[in-house]
Amino acid sequence: MKTMYRPAAETLMVAGLLGWAYVALVAVLRPDVLSMHISVVLPMRRDTFGAVSMAVSFGCAFALRARTGTFWARSAGRPDAAEAGLAAVGGYAFLVWVYLCLNNLSHPWTTGYRLTHFFEHPSEGTTAVLCFLLLSGCLFGLRVRKARRG
């Protein structure tokens, strides 16, 4: 990975994750303000900002893992795209699952609501179940690959 690409990808991965974490907390504590603009400087809905932040962070995490074998430190080992995909998808499925669990604890009446304003389906509850299954499958896949390598 070129000298400037890795620091940029690491920074965008963390910034995207923090942006999504902010919106997740807003969704848990103040779901009524999700459709409001995040600020005058950035006239974007909070929920849209969260979705974009998650996508940017995920893309950078996948690229870092696929190219270097790790999210943070440089490593001599270099996994293939399948392992990078399992790690990135499983990690982000876990984050979404935690977010939806917190939502369910703070305002359980929204479990049947649609997950996002982008699509009618799935609901928050269905997405939580799917994310848990997805992260479990990814973890299993990673562990199987590790066991085969010894």
Residue 105 burial by Cβ neighbours in a 10 Å radius (0-12, 13-18, 19+): exposed
pLDDT < 50: residue spans in the chain: 75
> pLDDT at position 146, please?
74
The token pair that represents 4 in the structure block: 């400037």
CA–CA separation, 149 vs 19, rounded Å?
36
Per residue in 96-115, pLDDT (tens digit) is: 999 988 887 788 788 888 88
CA–CA separation, 69 vs 87, rounded Å?
10
pTM here is 0.66
> pLDDT at position 111, please?
81
Count of domains observed in the chain: 1
Which structural domain, as residue segments, surrounds residue 73? 5-149
